[in-house]
């Protein structure tokens, strides 16, 4: 089997040489040759992806790619575009492209000069990046794009090109191969996910690693699916020893990774003497380490802001603290390092930590540059360690926010890096409580008050509105929580608990006409006027992937309704109690002499559930949704 | 209570005036640094203390006449969200390294109060960046150092430009309030500009005569070279605004830009004493003429030859016009770029892709080849904002569609719209003022009301063992069909759509059929059976027989409204429902029939219900008869939708017979 594999690769290689020598084939890649199994659920088909990476020394490499993609319909259009991002470390040395029609005839040839170049960075101040792209739109489908290009890598190689046979959902693959050739002195590290094999072939001068994949059917996107990293096969590869802009290191383990990052931080922690004196002054009367850290953190929040600058090695190395102390802005690395420097100045040791906001777990055995995208600070303090998010001016001190809670972080120190885990919350802690006291009148109007308290997620989404003092935004927020038509709102009172377990509270008196629908002598009153997180995202009949609920929560509603004079309850919806492994739904109502007391709790549990449970989860969600739509019926006596 | 608040506001207004008007550049006062809130708008995250713009005309030997636009801004940061204003960027145009607009004098200072002392931090060149956008556009970016909540920040720069027809517009209103703003321009009599003012905020404007001197080099019309000092009369305009509130977007608005208080300029003519008069734009008739003379516009209307092999003159009927539209659309697809003028008609035909004007101009030529009287209709697309009718201007136009005359009627279409048809236009071209460029008969046309969204749902409802069963037929026509087709196209397949529909209608869908969804012009017809769970056998059955609720919530939630309300298109929507009462039950109660009217029938809503025998009939009508409603009657508008939302959830009550 393996031998057979190799032959194919060699054949392919010969084929490429042939193509290069004699120019593009007049007719190639007709759509009719695509197998039906690869057309199913597909917007695009990778006909051929052939990547060849040849490293000549620790700093340099040539990366050649041939990519042929057939676009079957409009939804797949974006996959027919060419994009390349260059910087100090990478340039596009050659490029050519061909567009073919459904039969495989050439309809257009594209030269390097046809590419559009832009240095615009959307959100940052500066990146040093050059984007080169070609956007192709076709009058008809299907069509095929064929791109052949070569990149020059220089000034350092942190990772080799990752091998992803798929580029995304709704795409099938006829054939995809990669070949990484490294000098024999280089040790290649790899991480393999999914059903992919890696071949290794040694000669005296070099080692060639290769992998290949073919006839992969398209994968459909599904709501509540695991992240694409857990669905699509891939091989990540990187050199063990590397240099980057003359900073050399070794990545055999996270400890060594830490040494390299530490090297980038060296000498970046100087501060002006005046600031040091000011910090000493500010913290002199603080009794505990925590108090001191809080004082400095407060100073940092009030005096800095986030501005992204990623020039040169700036994607990995922070702006030095001295500069940040002057300009008072930087990105996550610069602000975290600035905080580190300020704490150091008052003799409080802390650690710069590298973290991923997207993936909870870092690969323990494969230290890499692919996962992490953020930096925070750890202040070790015995049993009272403090994690600091330095890239936000308004989050509470010591609050481990939802994008990092429970995530792994690499804690950087002089002795290297070590993986630590941030504290996490329970689903019960991620809660919202709403209380409504309502009085309904005989015309269906309502008056009363509502109050809500939100923690964690809800806090993060609402606290800036609460702090804004902007009535327009607050009214919008109230309407978002309580969707009643034309509410007349009184004074909206808000308060924030900006602790390490933060919450936001709001209360407001209101009245509204047409709250209850009226039919003759009857009034129909919605039981739960509070808007709930939508749970009707699962619409498909069948399921391919497991179901992942990444953020569970608890939502409770308490409503008391004073009934209008002369009315009696004709129908009170039945109490419900559904207990599943995905969560619990409970609602109860009680008629207490002219007053209805209704309570409702939705608990959704974080977890990954086997796809065989799909129908059960869907039904649980549907039952909740229809229960929430129920009304109680009053009848005039 | 309301009055009291108003008085309080007025009081602060005066105070604010005394404290902050005409804040000086070059320093920050203690009052400015100590300010913590802007009293007129406590929600403001920052306030612009001063925004001053100035345009001057200058002459230099190399480039001739140029304008210099200088902007000076000084602002106070009140909340952390306001810090976003400390990252600034603006775009400019450079044909090459030596030709194009130049930026000079970009500088800035941040003022902070530290231990009672005012500390200045200057903007360093290290944090000023240039980025290349596509083609020749560039963006200058800078970030103000040491800015924090409480800082006073100022910056300024000058753009020098030879593009006299592209004077920078000046906005007196931004996303944060402005205490003081002024704009001054001195225009030498060589140039005649339209000065377009728009917006809701009042400005103090002054125009006075002035005089300018230049030392110029020129060749006269005989080619002789001159170098002399010239003096020319000029007009000086000064516009001043004080306490201008922040501009905020609102839902149901076509283009917020229509309501920003700003001034813009359109160059109408140039007259140097040493050269002949050069007219650019003076009247809309002139705009028409200039467009027709321009090679890329008028020139592209004379290319009927492109279709000489495909189209012959076989009579001028609407059917034939439909056929030709279909032919052009099958040959060329839209590349998603909107344009007033074609790029290249021949290329578009060859490659099968073109910008919006390529396709519409090809259609016009094709129609002409077929013997029709066809012509372009130009406009400012809906998202760009309204045309300044009083000030004729080519640069305000950005879009063109096609019109054709058949007998005494005129039909319009936007051939770039995949599902568009004659008199069924996509939203971008449903504007109130478009200009039909039809030779001597050129005139204004209101396209916004040429088409209607017509939907009609007919359902028969009965009760079965499984619950409530509705057999539904849904027909969508014209604008409603156009929108639906674009929406439906995004679904992977029919089953993905029906799954979505079931979830939206809160039931299950069976026997789904669809037709017309993929062709322009045709009605879309849906038919399906909707099953909603419910149990028969209870003493009482309460149910709402409507198939769908167009509004489950009031679309107008904000307490107040500053700008007019704009709807997408005229609408004629109805549901006709017939319910068969299950055996053994009788009608206990029905909701009240209701009619709600807004204004002079601008919006109408009707819910009529009646029972007879074992049937209940419901007629549900909703109409939008006018696209723009005024903000003064906002409260009535809210009431209209409140009533409609309430009535749409009305319940029918059935009772077991004999119980």
Q: Which residues of B touch A472 (CB under 8 A)?
A: 43, 248, 558-559
- Closest to A476 (Cβ–Cβ): which among B503, B557, B650? B557
CA angle, B490 as apex, B488 and B493 as ends, to 5°? Answer: 75
* Cβ–Cβ below 8 Å for B143 and A517: no
Residue B602 β-bridge partners: none
pLDDT of residue B21: 54
The CATH code of the domain that includes A37 is 2.60.40.3140
pLDDT at B464 over 60: yes
pLDDT of residue B659: 63
A461 with A363, same domain? Answer: no
Residue B146 Ramachandran class (φ > 0 left, ψ -120 to 50 alpha, else beta): left
Q: How far is A516 from chain B (nearest CA, A)?
A: 8
Other Cβ atoms less than 10 A from the Cβ of A283: the count is: 22
Q: Which of A228-232, B435-439, B480-484 has the highest mean pLDDT?
A: B480-484
Boundary of a domain, candidates A217, A244, A271: A244
The CATH code of the domain that includes A267 is 3.10.620.30
- Closest to A116 (Cβ–Cβ): which among B134, B590, B642? B134
User: What CA–CA distance (Å, rounded) separates B393 from B266?
Assistant: 6
* Cβ–Cβ below 8 Å for B650 and A570: no
Q: Are A507 and A493 in contact (CB under 8 A)?
A: yes
pLDDT in tens, B594-633: 999 999 999 999 999 999 999 999 999 999 999 999 999 9
Q: Which residues of B touch A327 (CB under 8 A)?
A: 121, 124, 127, 143, 145-146
Q: Which domain holds residue A107?
A: 2-244
Q: Which helix (H) or strand (E) holds B94?
A: none
Q: Which residues of A touch B86 (CB under 8 A)?
A: 305, 329
Q: Identify the band that residue B365 occupies on the pLDDT scale cut at 50, 70 and 90.
A: very high
A162 with A125, same domain? Answer: yes
pLDDT of residue B535: 64
pLDDT of residue B393: 82
Boundary of a domain, candidates A244, A263, A280: A244
pLDDT of residue B327: 95
A168 with A40, same domain? Answer: yes
A298 with A369, same domain? Answer: yes
A497 with A403, same domain? Answer: no
A431 with A417, same domain? Answer: no
Residue B414 Ramachandran class (φ > 0 left, ψ -120 to 50 alpha, else beta): beta
Q: Which of B323, B321, B416 is nearest to B374 (CA)?
A: B321
pLDDT in tens, B60-98: 888 899 999 999 999 999 999 999 999 999 999 998 877
The CATH code of the domain that includes A502 is 2.60.120.1130
Boundary of a domain, candidates A244, A270, A288: A244
E-strand ranges in B100-164 read 102-114, 117-122, 128-132, 137-143, 152-161
Q: Which residues of B touch A476 (CB under 8 A)?
A: 557-558
A99 with A138, same domain? Answer: yes
Q: Are B520 and B418 in contact (CB under 8 A)?
A: yes
Q: How far is A519 from chain B (nearest CA, A)?
A: 4
Residue A374 β-bridge partners: A355
Count of domains for chain A: 3
A285 with A236, same domain? Answer: no
pLDDT of residue A4: 37
Q: Which residues of A touch B554 (CB under 8 A)?
A: 485-486
A186 with A278, same domain? Answer: no
The pLDDT of B367-381, averaged and rounded, is: 96
pTM of structure: 0.90
Backbone angles phi, psi at A255, to 5 degrees: -60, -45
A379 with A450, same domain? Answer: no
Say which residues have a Cβ less than 8 Å from residue B633's Cβ, sequence separation at least 6.
Answer: B598, B599
For B589, name the nearest residue in chain A, comparing CA atoms only.
A520
* Cβ–Cβ below 8 Å for A518 and B591: yes
A87 with A149, same domain? Answer: yes
B190 touches chain A (CB under 8 A): no
For A625, name the nearest residue in chain B, comparing CA atoms only.
B506
Q: Which residues of B touch A126 (CB under 8 A)?
A: 129, 131, 141
Q: Which domains does chain B have, with CATH numbers?
A: 19-278 (2.60.40.3140), 291-445 (3.10.620.30), 452-656 (2.60.120.1130)
A518 with A564, same domain? Answer: yes
**Three-state DSSP class for residue B214:** strand
- Across the A/B interface, how many CB contacts are shorter than 8 Å? 170
pLDDT of residue A23: 53
- Strands A416-421, A408-413: pairing is antiparallel
Q: Which residues of B touch A517 (CB under 8 A)?
A: 591, 646-647, 649-651
Which of B91, B148, B594 has the highest number of chain A CBs within 10 A, making it the mutation to test binding with A? B148
- Closest to B141 (Cβ–Cβ): which among A125, A464, A626? A125
- Closest to A302 (Cβ–Cβ): which among B132, B148, B559? B148
Output DSSP code: residue B424.
Answer: B
pLDDT in tens, B561-589: 999 999 999 999 999 999 999 999 999 99
Say which residues have a Cβ less than 8 Å from residue A469's Cβ, sequence separation at least 6.
Answer: B42, B43
For A138, name the nearest residue in chain B, comparing CA atoms only.
B353
Q: Which residues of A touch B610 (CB under 8 A)?
A: none
* Cβ–Cβ below 8 Å for B143 and A521: no
User: Among residues of chain B, what percentage have pLDDT more than 90?
Assistant: 78
pLDDT under 50 in chain A at which residues? 1-22
């Amino acid at each position: 089997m393996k031998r057979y594999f190799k032959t194919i690769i060699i054949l392919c290689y010969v084929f490429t040489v042939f193509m290069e020598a004699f120019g593009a084939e007049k007719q190639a890649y007709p759509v009719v040759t695509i197998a039906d199994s690869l057309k199913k659920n597909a917007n695009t088909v990778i006909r051929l992806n052939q990547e060849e990476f040849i490293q000549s020394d620790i700093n340099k490499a040539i990366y050649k790619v041939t990519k042929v993609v057939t676009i079957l319909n409009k939804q797949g259009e974006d996959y027919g575009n060419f994009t390349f991002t260059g910087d100090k470390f990478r340039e596009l040395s050659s490029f050519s492209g061909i567009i073919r029609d459904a039969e495989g005839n050439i309809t257009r040839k594209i030269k390097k000069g046809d590419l559009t170049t832009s240095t615009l960075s959307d959100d940052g101040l500066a990146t040093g990046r050059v984007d080169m792209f070609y956007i192709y739109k076709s009058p008809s489908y299907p069509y095929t794009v064929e791109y052949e290009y070569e990149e020059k890598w220089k000034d350092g190689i942190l990772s080799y090109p990752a091998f992803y046979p798929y580029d995304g959902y709704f795409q099938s693959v006829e054939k995809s191969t990669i070949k990484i050739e490294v000098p024999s002195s280089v040790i290649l590290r790899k991480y393999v996910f999914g059903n992919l094999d890696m071949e290794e072939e040694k000669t005296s001068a070099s080692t060639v690693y290769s992998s290949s994949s073919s006839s992969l059917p398209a994968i459909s996107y599904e709501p509540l699916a695991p992240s694409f990293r857990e669905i699509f096969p891939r091989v990540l590869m990187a050199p063990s020893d590397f240099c980057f802009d003359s900073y050399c290191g070794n990545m055999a383990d996270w400890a060594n990774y830490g040494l390299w990052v530490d090297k980038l931080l060296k000498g970046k922690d100087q501060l002006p003497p005046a600031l040091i004196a000011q910090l000493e002054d500010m913290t002199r009367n603080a009794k505990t380490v925590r108090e001191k850290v809080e004082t400095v953190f407060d100073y940092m929040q009030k005096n800095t802001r986030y501005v992204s600058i990623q020039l040169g090695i700036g994607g990995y190395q922070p702006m030095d603290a001295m500069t940040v102390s002057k300009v008072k802005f930087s990105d996550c690395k610069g602000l975290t390092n600035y905080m580190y420097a300020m704490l150091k100045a008052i003799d409080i040791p802390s650690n710069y930590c590298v973290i991923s906001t997207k993936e909870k777990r870092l690969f323990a055995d494969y230290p890499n540059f692919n996962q992490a995208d953020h930096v925070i600070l750890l202040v070790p303090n015995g049993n009272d360690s403090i994690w600091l998010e330095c890239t936000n001016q308004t989050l509470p001190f010591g609050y481990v926010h939802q994008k990092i809670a429970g995530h792994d972080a690499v804690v950087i120190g002089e002795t290297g890096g070590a993986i630590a885990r941030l504290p996490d919350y329970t689903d019960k802690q991620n809660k919202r409580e709403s209380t409504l006291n309502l009085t309904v009148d005989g015309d269906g109007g309502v008056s009363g008050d509502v109050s809500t308290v939100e923690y964690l997620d809800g806090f993060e989404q609402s606290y800036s509105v609460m702090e804004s003092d902007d009535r327009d935004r607050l009214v919008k927020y109230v309407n978002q929580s309580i969707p009643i038509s034309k509410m007349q709102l009184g004074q909206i009172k808000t308060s924030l608990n900006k602790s390490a377990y933060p919450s936001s509270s709001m209360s407001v008196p209101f009245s509204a006409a047409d709250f209850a629908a009226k039919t003759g002598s009857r009034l129909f009153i919605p039981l739960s006027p509070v808007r709930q997180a939508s749970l009707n995202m699962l619409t498909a009949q069948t399921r391919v992937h497991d179901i992942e609920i990444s953020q569970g929560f608890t939502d409770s509603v308490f409503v008391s309704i004073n009934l209008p004079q002369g009315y009696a309850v004709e129908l009170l919806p039945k109490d419900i109690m559904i207990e599943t492994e995905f969560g619990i739904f409970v609602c109860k109502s009680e008629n207490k002499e002219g007053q209805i007391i209704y309570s409702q709790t939705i608990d959704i549990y974080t977890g990954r559930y086997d796809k065989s449970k799909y129908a059960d989860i869907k039904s649980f969600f549907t039952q909740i949704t229809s229960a929430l739509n129920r009304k109680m019926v009053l009848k005039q006596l | 209570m309301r009055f009291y608040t108003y008085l309080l506001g007025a009081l602060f207004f005066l105070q604010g005036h005394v404290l902050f008007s005409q804040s000086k550049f070059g320093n920050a006062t203690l009052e400015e640094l100590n300010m913590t809130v802007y009293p007129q708008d406590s929600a403001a995250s920052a306030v612009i203390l001063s925004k001053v713009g100035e345009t001057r005309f200058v002459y230099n030997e190399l480039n001739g006449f140029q304008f210099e636009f200088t902007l000076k801004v000084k602002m106070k940061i009140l909340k952390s969200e306001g810090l976003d204003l400390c990252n600034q960027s603006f775009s400019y145009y450079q044909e090459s390294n030596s030709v194009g607009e130049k930026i000079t004098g970009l500088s800035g200072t941040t003022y902070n109060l530290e231990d009672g002392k005012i500390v200045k931090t200057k903007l360093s060149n290290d944090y000023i960046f240039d980025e290349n956008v596509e083609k020749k556009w560039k963006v200058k970016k800078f970030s103000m150092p040491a800015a924090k909540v409480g800082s006073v920040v100022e910056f300024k720069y000058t753009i020098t430009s030879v593009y006299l027809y592209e004077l920078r517009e000046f906005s007196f209103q931004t996303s944060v309030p402005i205490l003081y703003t002024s704009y001054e321009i001195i225009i030498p009599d060589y140039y005649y500009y339209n000065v377009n003012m728009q917006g809701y905020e009042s400005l103090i404007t002054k125009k006075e005569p002035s005089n300018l001197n230049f030392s110029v080099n020129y060749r006269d019309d005989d080619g002789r070279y001159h170098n002399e000092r010239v003096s020319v009369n000029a007009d000086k305009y000064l516009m001043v605004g004080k306490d201008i509130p922040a501009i905020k977007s609102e839902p149901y608005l076509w283009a917020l830009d229509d309501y920003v208080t700003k001034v813009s300029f359109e160059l109408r003519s140039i007259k140097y004493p040493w050269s002949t008069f050069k007219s650019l734009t003076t009247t809309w008739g002139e705009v028409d003429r200039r467009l027709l003379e321009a090679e890329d516009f008028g020139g592209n209307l004379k290319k009927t030859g492109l279709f000489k092999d495909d189209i012959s003159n076989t009579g001028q009927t609407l059917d034939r016009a439909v056929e030709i539209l279909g032919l052009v659309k099958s040959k060329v697809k839209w590349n998603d770029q909107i344009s007033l003028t074609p790029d290249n008609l021949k290329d578009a035909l060859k490659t099968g892709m073109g910008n919006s004007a390529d396709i519409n101009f090809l259609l016009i030529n094709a129609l002409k080849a077929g013997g029709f009287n066809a012509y372009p209709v130009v406009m400012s697309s809906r998202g760009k904002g309204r045309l300044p009718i009083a000030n004729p201007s080519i640069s305000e136009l950005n879009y063109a569609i096609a019109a054709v005359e058949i007998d005494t009627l005129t039909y319009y279409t936007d051939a770039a719209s995949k599902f568009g048809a004659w008199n069924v236009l996509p939203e971008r071209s449903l504007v109130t003022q478009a200009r039909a460029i039809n030779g001597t008969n050129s005139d204004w046309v209101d396209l916004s009301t040429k088409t209607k969204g017509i939907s009609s749902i007919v359902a028969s409802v009965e009760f079965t063992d499984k619950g409530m069963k509705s057999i539904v037929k849904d027909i969508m026509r014209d604008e409603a069909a156009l929108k639906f087709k674009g929406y439906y196209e995004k679904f992977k397949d029919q089953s993905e759509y029906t799954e979505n529909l079931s979830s939206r209608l809160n039931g299950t869908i069976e026997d789904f059929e669809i037709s017309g969804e993929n062709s322009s012009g045709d009605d879309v017809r849906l038919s399906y059976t909707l099953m909603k769970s419910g149990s028969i056998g209870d003493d009482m059955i309460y149910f709402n027989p409507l198939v769908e609720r167009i509004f489950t919530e009031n679309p107008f939630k904000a307490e107040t409204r500053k700008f007019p309300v704009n709807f997408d298109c005229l609408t004629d929507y109805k549901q006709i429902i017939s319910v068969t009462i299950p055996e053994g039950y009788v009608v206990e109660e029905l909701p009240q029939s209701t009619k709600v009217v807004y204004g002079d029938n601008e919006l109408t809503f009707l819910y009529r219900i009646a029972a007879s025998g074992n049937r209940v009939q419901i007629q549900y009508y909703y109409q939008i008869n006018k696209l723009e409603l005024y903000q003064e009657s906002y409260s009535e508008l809210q009431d209209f939708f409140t009533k409609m939302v309430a009535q749409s959830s009305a319940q029918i009550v059935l009772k077991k017979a004999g119980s």
